[in-house]
Structure 1
Amino acid sequence: MSRLTGSVVIVTGGGRGIGESICTELASQGADVAVADLDERAAATVAACLAQRYGVHTLGVGADVTDPGAVRAVVDAAESELGPVTGLVNNAGIDVIGRFVDSTPDTWDRLIDVNLKGTIGVTRAVLDGMIARSAGRIVNIASDAGRVGSSGEVVYSATKGGVIAFSKALAREVAKEHITVNVVCPGPTDTALLDQVAEASQKLYDGLARAVPMRRIAQPADIAPAVAFLLSPGAGYITGQTLSVSGGLTMV
C-alpha cells in the first residue's frame, strides 16, 4: 500500500508550477486529489492526467480562494466526489516584483487577499470536518521571503510571514484534535513567479542561482516530496514547524 492511500487532499493553486508537482507527488503515493485552481481548465487537465496515470480518484475544480462561496463549493465538491477531506495544501499564491515605494494599495490588498486571507479562508472551510473526525493534515506553502525578507517583495514577504505565524498559532489550537499544521517554505523555484524576477533583472535572477549552496534554482518537483511527507502518517507527531526547501540558501 502506498503511503497516502486512503487520503483525500485538496491542493489550491494545483493547476501549474509547484501546485501541480504537489498534486502529482500525492497521487503517485496513492492519495485522491482535488485539484483547485483559478484556471478551471488547467485544474481539470491535471486531475484527468493524474487519474489516468496513477489510478486514483481526482477532481479538477475552478476556485478563487478570495471568494468564501467558491471555497465552500470546492470543499463540498471534494467531499461529495472523493470523500471526507483528510488533508489540505494551501499553495495558491501571487507575487508582484517591484520596489515597495512604487507599489499601490490595490496591489497590497490583492497580495494579502490571496496569500494570507486565502490561506485562512480555505483552512477554515475544512477545519470543522477535521475536528469532527479528530484527524487532519494541513500544509501551508509560504516562502523563505517570509522568514528572512526579500528585496522587491516587501508586501509578499509580509503575507508569507503571516502564513507562518497563522500556521504556528493554529497548530497549537488544534493539536489536541490530532490535526497537524505545518509550513513548507520554498526558496527560489523555477515557476511563473520567478520569471518576474528575470524580467525585472536577469542579473538578479542569475545572482539567486549563484547564492544557493547547491548552485541551482529549485524545480517544482524538489518541493513536492516535503509536502507529501508532512501529509503522511509518518509526520503525525510533527506540527507547528516551518521547513525550508531552498538548497541551503536559508538556514534558520
Structure 2
Amino acid sequence: MSNSDINGKTALVTGASKGIGKAICLELAQMGVKVAVNYNSSKSEAEQVVQTITDMGGEAFKIHADVSDLEQVNAMVDKVSDEWGGVNILVNNAGIINDGLLMRMSDEAWHRVMGVNLNGTFYCTRATLRHMVRERWGRIINIGSVVGIRGNIGQTNYSSSKAAIIGFTKSLAKEVATRNITVNAVTPGYISTETVAGLSQRQKDTIMTWIPQGKFGNTEDIASMVGYLASERASYVTGQIISVDGGMAI
C-alpha cells in the first residue's frame, strides 16, 4: 500500500465491479484510499474487487444501488457516511449502452441510458457534495466518453448523455471552486473491456482506423488518470475534460 497524499480518504466508485470501475478501485486502494465498491447486478464481481483490495491490505466494502434510482442512491450514500463519515472522492463511472439508430430508438432505450449515465451522475454528486463542502475538500471525477465529444452512429442516446456530462462538469467546477473541491471528467476512448471484446473483428478494424496510436487502451490507463485527479498533485486542476483515447478525439 502506498502512503500517498490522499491516504485515509474515502471514495465511492459507481459501476465498480469490473472493467474501468474495477481498475479505478484498485488504483485508489493502492493510494491508501478506503473504497466503497458500487454495483447493480454484478454482486459476485464486486465481492471479488473487495477481496482483492483487502488482500493487499486496503479497506473496502461492496454496496448495491441502481444509480438511476434516487432513493437507492441516497441510501447508498447514507451507508457510506455511516461507515466512514462521508465521501471525499466520488467517481461517477456507472454507465450503460443501448445502441440503435435514432429513428428506430425506443423511448425506453433513450430514458434508460439517460437515467443511468446522466441522472445517476447528478444523483450521486448531489448526495455526496454537502459533506465535501463542509469538509472544504473533495474530488469529483466523472467518466465520460470520446463519443460525447465526436459522436458515433447508433449512439445518439449514449453520446448525448456523455456530452451532457461535459457541461455538468464545467458548471459544477465553477460552483465549488472556492471550497477546495475539484470537478473533472475523463473521457476514455476504446478500452480493452468486455464491451470491446464483444465486437466483431470487422468492427475492431474499423475503430482502429479512428485511433492515431493504432491500439486500444487498457483500464489502467483510465485508472492512472483518475488517481492523479484524486490526488493533491491535481489540486489546481478543475473543470477539465481529459481525453485518454490514443488521440481519437483530435
The TM-score normalised by the length of structure 2 is 0.94
Q: What residue in structure 1 maps to residue 55 of structure 2?
A: 52
Rounded Cα–Cα distance in structure 1 between residues aligned with 2:108 and 2:197: 22
Rounded Cα–Cα distance in structure 2 between residues aligned with 1:60 and 1:100: 36
What letter matches 1:212 in structure 2? I
Q: What residue in structure 2 maps to residue 127 of structure 1?
A: 129
Residues 1:156 and 2:158 aligned together = yes
Q: Which runs of 5+ in 2 are unaligned?
A: none
Q: What residue in structure 1 maps to residue 217 of structure 2?
A: 218
Residues 1:96 and 2:98 aligned together = yes
Rounded Cα–Cα distance in structure 2 between residues aligned with 1:3 and 1:214: 33
Q: What residue in structure 1 maps to residue 33 of structure 2?
A: 31
Q: What residue in structure 1 maps to residue 193 of structure 2?
A: 191
Q: What residue in structure 1 maps to residue 45 of structure 2?
A: 42
CA contact (8 A) 1:44 1:61 kept: no
Q: What residue in structure 1 maps to residue 234 of structure 2?
A: 235
Q: What residue in structure 1 maps to residue 10 of structure 2?
A: 8
Rounded Cα–Cα distance in structure 2 between residues aligned with 1:217 and 1:230: 22
Residues 1:80 and 2:79 aligned together = no
What letter matches 2:44 in structure 1? R
| Partner SS, residue 162 of structure 1 | helix
- Structure 1, residues 96-127: CA drift from partner, whole Å, max 9, x if none? 23222221111000010000000000001101
Of the structure 1 ranges 39-48 and 133-142, higher mean CA displacement relative to structure 2 is found in: 39-48
- Structure 1, residues 190-211: CA drift from partner, whole Å, max 9, x if none? 2233345x15xx4222221233
Rounded Cα–Cα distance in structure 1 between residues aligned with 2:5 and 2:221: 18
CA contact (8 A) 1:59 1:78 kept: no
Give, in angstroms, the shift of residue 225 of structure 1.
0.3
CA contact (8 A) 1:9 1:34 kept: yes
Q: Percent identity?
A: 39
How many residues align? The count is 247
Rounded Cα–Cα distance in structure 1 between residues aligned with 2:197 and 2:158: 16
What letter matches 2:17 in structure 1? G
What letter matches 1:231 in structure 2? A
The TM-score normalised by the length of structure 1 is 0.93
Rounded Cα–Cα distance in structure 2 between residues aligned with 1:167 and 1:238: 12
- Structure 1, residues 116-155: CA drift from partner, whole Å, max 9, x if none? 0000000011011111111100000000111111112111
Rounded Cα–Cα distance in structure 2 between residues aligned with 1:166 and 1:194: 27
Q: What residue in structure 2 maps to residue 207 of structure 1?
A: 206
What letter matches 2:215 in structure 1? R
Of the structure 1 ranges 147-156 and 224-233, higher mean CA displacement relative to structure 2 is found in: 147-156
CA contact (8 A) 1:191 1:220 kept: yes
Q: What residue in structure 1 maps to residue 179 of structure 2?
A: 177
Rounded Cα–Cα distance in structure 1 between residues aligned with 2:162 and 2:195: 14
Rounded Cα–Cα distance in structure 2 between residues aligned with 1:116 and 1:195: 25
What letter matches 1:145 in structure 2? V
| Partner SS, residue 134 of structure 2 | helix
- Structure 1, residues 145-168: CA drift from partner, whole Å, max 9, x if none? 111111121110000000111111
Give, in angstroms, the shift of residue 81 of structure 1.
2.2
